[in-house]
Structure 1
Amino acid sequence: MNTAIAGPATAARKLGAMQYLGYAAGDSANNLAFSMTSFFLLIYYTDVVGISATAAGTLFLVIRVWDGFADIFAGRVIDKTMTRWGKFRPFFLFAGLPVLLLSVATFTVPNLFSGSGTKLLAAYVTYGLLGLAYSMVNIPYGSLAAAMTQRPGERAKLASFRMIGTAVTTIMLAFVVAPQIQQYKGDPDGFQRSLLITTAIFAVVGFGLYLLLFVTAREAVQRDVPSVSGKQSFTTLKGNKPLIMLCLASLAFLTALFSLQTVQVYYARDVLGNANLLTALTVLSVGAIFVVAPLIPRLVRSIGKKKAFLSFGAIGLLAGIGISVSPPSTPWVSMTFFGIMGISTAGINTLMWALEADTVEYGEWRTGVRTEGITYALFSFTRKLGQAVGGAVAAYAIAFGGYIGGSATQSEDALDAIRYASGFIPVVFILIGILIFFRYPLTEQTFATMVAETQARRAGASTR
């Protein structure tokens, strides 16, 4: 007979500082692999391995779609799992280290082979395995927030700490890797050695961060069905309109974000003329989270998640236009717009995580079954599609402009293509995301009513 996990008394406990810190540490560990590939894998493939930008763009499209299906697989595995450590925590312990080691392999193995075809095959294999392993740790990580608390304020705070963890890691990556790009420009062998050492150190640090998450996290929200069948999982997804609308809007926004992230290093090195400026661009764009994150819970209380989400999207439209039209001769102008874009992406990304957790409650309210794993997996699937399309569009754009990997100078057409992939392409997809999210139906009042009805239904069932 199924038994409920975590009773109301446990669910009522407030989260402490260590829970928030541990949750931030988890996404810091994730991004030692994820952001490393988002920011630097394309330039590694084009300038070190010697893969053309067009071939790399196709690789990103294929592997990141594969990653999306890996997320669905991971979601089903998680929904079926229940251990003495909980449903999600064991994955941080057993899947964390393989993810980090595969990140080392992704930035090392393809260059060990000779011949363009063999190098490309090695890139597909290593990046594909990294994506599968990453799904086995990221899906439980993202699902964990919905199981830690049902309080909207705490969920917003968890999302803020998650984004702070992301920002700290991403800024650190810029400080560590950008000087290597500048130092080893025209020296692919030196860049390869440097990347091997860097990713190996990240593997050690990242595993320590996963252990901190494992020790501090707790799963407190009551669940009436510990192990969820496949039919129950997909029945819960079917008809979850808030989740579907969130996924579609997120797909558009993330396509914009990953187009910018993919070519940001090219923007600094080739458009602005100095790869070291990537550090400044990253600090301005990613560092905005330290300003935005503390404001998110207050914004949620004052105007609600939906209005806040749309407002940050409008800010992104302005920033994208500014990035593309900024004159390269005055870097401070483009840097300003990168900072404004950072405000937009920080707000949107933070709110996404809180919104996704709310859709879990909607699914349980409709069906009586909590399916954090498959719900987050579907959301993550669309994020991977956004990463795939954004990365591929950016790579195809610079290839169309005539970018030549490893060349010390690029044509004006190639430089224009980099600027457009950084600004105008994101603007188009942000606008699509705004238009979709106008139809998002789940308000704060609706959410409070759903949770109250679910708790009343549970209480009524326990008295029978």
Structure 2
Amino acid sequence: MSGSRTSYTTRFSYAASDVAGQLVFCVVSFYLSWFYTDVFGISPAAAGTILLVARWVDAIDAPLWGILFDRTRSRWGKSRPWFLWLSLPFATFGVLTFLTPDIGYTAKVWYAAITYIGCSVLYTGINTPVTSILSALTSDPRERVTLTAFRMFGSKLGVLIVNLTALRLVALLGEGDDRRGFMLVMPIYAAGSVLLFLLAFRNLREVVRVEHKPQPILAGFGALRGNWPWMIIFASSLFFWIGFIARVSTVPYFFEYALQRKDLVWLANSLDFVSLATAFLLPWLCRWTSKRNAWAIGLAGMVFGQLVVGWGVSQGFSLSVIMTGWTIGFLASGMAMAMPFSLLADSVDYGEWKNGIRAAGLLTAIGAAFCLKAGAGLGGALPLWIMQGFGYVPNTAQTAGALDGIAIGFVWLPAACFFAALIPVLFYGRFEKWEPEIHAELDRRRANTGTKPE
């Protein structure tokens, strides 16, 4: 039965799909800003513009990917085959993004923009099926939360692997030349990414197959009409990713120039792994309280963590206080990050119930991939623009003004975004209460039309 407990093979293979994506894209999310300004030699303003333009290209390609996924027909299903088809192109562009050809400045900017846009578009293509396949792995909302917890484990494991090894391998293999180091390290991560995506392709099965008559290409957007749960997820996720990427992408700058502790960059970003503590508690938390409350607690915890970091900055850059707040924020992020991925599958059901249109690919492409990429574009660009405005100059001692700009991007911009993400979540509870009724009605419709899940 599609609603029964999933196997551990399914759970760990689902986790592997997110390890695969993070092996490449974690390097992008955490280190690309610093790579552009301090390694490749692009100005902060130009680098910020590249990050923003590339990510906002997903305003166009995310819906197109979603439409394509919803119209996919193969013996492997709708979402699963894309792990096979896109893993190698994605990994290839991940490598190209971190090459540093010896060319003129303008050519550098164009090369960075083209390779990053390619990597970004392909990440949307291969990451969206990781989300959209969830509604096909099981129809049980609680089991979806469990699978999401395993996915978060995979995501955080990938992030941990990268943050524990990336800069060290760059230094080791590059022998002091960061350009050479990135050129040698990225193919290692890319190969691991391809292998893990192929593992997910081999082991995952789409057991919930609800076939409808083919819809016109734009008909899938009808699933958005009046879909308030999806709109809440979209608004909150967009603000969350702006704040989260601003938070992690400014780590190299803050620890090197404000704290004078570049040696702790790997530790600061590796602490992301503590978020698993709350991510794995999600199935229990959602039995103890509502999914809305668990989501809101996570976002509120991230706001509190940023305030503690801000207090540490005001106390003469107290390392102990800053690291305490930093850890609190990561711990809370397990809930704040995981819940939208689980709830998107429920919003797909809501769209089918309300409008008679099931558009898992489109809703997850826009609600997850677009929010991640557009939010990350702003989250990467805004701190760089702020730093440029406050007088940041790469690879030199910073002025007091430049340090203020770094602190704004590291502390206060993320805090404001996490608070903004919390507001729409407070209105989600009423829709969560309707879920039993919605699933019962969908089961009746499918039984009557002969589209009952296998």
> 1:123 is matched with which residue?
112
User: Aligned partners of 1:422 and 1:180: how far apart in 2?
Assistant: 25
Q: Summarize the alignment of residues 203-352 of structure 1 with structure 2, pairs less than 5 Å apart.
A: 203-225=190-212, 227-284=214-271, 286-327=272-313, 330-352=318-340
Q: Summarize the alignment of residues 401-416 of structure 1 with structure 2, pairs less than 5 Å apart.
A: 401-407=390-396, 409-416=397-404
Alpha carbons 2:42, 2:109 under 8 Å: kept: yes
Alpha carbons 2:20, 2:197 under 8 Å: kept: yes
DSSP-derived class of the 2:177 partner: helix
> 2:89 is matched with which residue?
98
> 2:353 is matched with which residue?
365
In the alignment, does 2:189 pair up with 1:198? Answer: no
Q: Structure 1 residues 266 and 228, CA, compared in 2 at 3 Å: closer, same or farther?
A: farther
Gapped regions of structure 2 (runs ≥ 5): none
User: Aligned partners of 1:444 and 1:351: how far apart in 2?
Assistant: 12
Aligned residues: 448
User: Aligned partners of 2:116 and 2:414: how far apart in 1?
Assistant: 25
1:443 is displaced (CA, Å) by: 4.0
> 2:372 is matched with which residue?
383
Q: Structure 1 residues 226 and 376, CA, compared in 2 at 3 Å: closer, same or farther?
A: farther
TM-score by length of 2: 0.94
User: Aligned partners of 2:171 and 2:326: how far apart in 1?
Assistant: 20
Alpha carbons 1:245, 1:440 under 8 Å: kept: yes
> 1:3 is matched with which residue?
none
Q: Choose which of 405, 409, 417 in structure 2 pairs with 1:417.
A: 405
1:312 partner amino acid: G
1:271 is displaced (CA, Å) by: 2.0
> 2:420 is matched with which residue?
432
User: Aligned partners of 2:317 and 2:306: how far apart in 1?
Assistant: 18
1:168 partner amino acid: L
Gapped regions of structure 1 (runs ≥ 5): 1-8
> 1:53 is matched with which residue?
44
Q: Summarize the alignment of residues 15-26 of structure 1 with structure 2, pairs less than 5 Å apart.
A: 15-26=6-17
Q: Summarize the alignment of residues 384-399 of structure 1 with structure 2, pairs less than 5 Å apart.
A: 384-399=373-388
1:139 is displaced (CA, Å) by: 1.3
Q: Deviations over 1:299-335 (max 9, x none)?
A: 1111111111111111111111222331465322211
Q: Structure 1 residues 68 and 261, CA, compared in 2 at 3 Å: closer, same or farther?
A: farther
Q: Deviations over 1:12-64 (max 9, x none)?
A: 44310011101111011111222111111111110121100011111111110
RMSD: 2.0
Q: Choose which of 128, 131, 141 in structure 2 pairs with 1:142.
A: 131
1:374 partner amino acid: L
4+ aligned runs moved over 4 Å, structure 1:
180-184
> 2:27 is matched with which residue?
36
DSSP-derived class of the 1:423 partner: helix
> 1:171 is matched with which residue?
160
TM-score by length of 1: 0.92
